[in-house]
Amino acid sequence: MQIILFDTARATFYPFSVTRPLSAFRCGIFTAKERWAFVLQQDVFTLTEDYLTDAYPFSPIEGDDFLYINASVVFSTELLHEIKALAAESVLLRNNNQIAIRTRSRLAFPVTTEQIKHCKEVELSVAVRFFHYPYDLVTSNDQLIRTDSELVRSKKLSAPISSTNQLINPEQIFIEEGAEVEYCTLNASTGPIYIGKNALLMEGSMIRGPFVALENAVVKMGSKIYGATTVGKKCTVGGEIKNSIFFDYSNKAHDGYIGDAVIGSWCNIGAGASCSNVKNTAGEVKFWNPLLHQWISAGTKCGVMLGDYSKVSINASLTTGMVSGICSNILTAGLSPKFIADFTWNIHTGEKYILEKALHDIENWMQMKQQSLTNNDKQILEYIYTRQT
């Protein structure tokens, strides 16, 4: 059986869905694709928009048995049991929402009811949650860190934890092989702590779970990090962080505050930059979605949604609920705007970031982490740039 995660309403997830399918969103320890591959112990593929398929390929074997799973569904072990029990040529539904489809038919994006009209409808018997907007990653991160920590512990044993650290509830602390953690305070009384392979937590770091630092991540000296926070692969973070998610390869290496935020991949947040996550009125925070042309409520707390390849200047002040598109430079001495469009070079004049210059600068940043811009990366960026011009 081949497992395919299919995208649904992608526009609601701007800016993070612009450069990746929903299955590549990180929340908890894993992305959705990594999580389903981990629990099902097999490769997982993606069904998404055409311009992303070279970077996230799916080449189904004709006549095979396919299990399609909605990528916006929040994983749970109860849901896993029902999906694994789904009979052939059936669709698993919850309040008319497609949860999973098992069929020998090859489906196309977007998956429509017409494509699966031959399937028997089965109503899901357990509660299920969905990601609807980017901020749902923040509100779901606590539970998914706990879920993912249990999944990891069911398969592996933690490496020994150095005696130089101050540990609270050490039974909930898991350290992978090669991680370096010395003279830190790790408090897992409020949630599990997971330290990935070859990660480095420098001395004096104070961590309060739930917390994740993934493979090759670096936490700088004296950092103060509260749960629920996920630091992606090869990220470097420091200063004060609370209840935030960093996708892979991003930096917030210095002092400054980031809270209730989602930071995309290949972002850099300069020294002293901070975001607001609560309005002075303690009122409702709304963020702008340019694809929906709509303000969306995030409740009373929401930091920033920073699209991939965006850069924030030193000492910048990011306003509550700010959304930045991809490849944007946020250079400001005062409060930032609430919304910054893709490929913005100057937020005050609206000057665009020319594509050739953006690609050159991205390549420079990638080389600093021993990576390089792939042809697939370039094609995605060229498509987005051309679409908006």
pLDDT digits (tens, 9 = 90+) for 280-299: 999 999 999 999 999 999 99
Q: Is the pLDDT of residue 229 over 80?
A: yes
Q: Is the pLDDT of residue 230 over 90?
A: yes
Q: Is the pLDDT of residue 169 over 90?
A: yes
Q: What SS3 string covers 313-351?
A: CCCCEECCCCEECCCCEECCCCECCCEECCCECCCCCCC
Q: What is the mean pLDDT of the chain?
A: 96
Which H helix or E strand runs over 77?
A: helix 77-84
Q: Is the pLDDT of residue 389 over 70?
A: no
Q: Is the pLDDT of residue 63 over 70?
A: no
Query: pLDDT tens digit string along 357-381?
Result: 999 999 999 999 999 999 999 999 9
Predicted TM-score of the model (pTM): 0.96
CA distance 67 to 180: 39
Query: pLDDT tens digit string along 6-32?
Result: 999 999 999 999 999 999 999 999 999
Query: pLDDT tens digit string along 243-255?
Result: 999 999 999 999 9
Which DSSP letter does residue 85 get?
T
**pLDDT average, residue stretch 69-88:** 96
CA angle 68, 70, 76 (to 5 degrees): 105
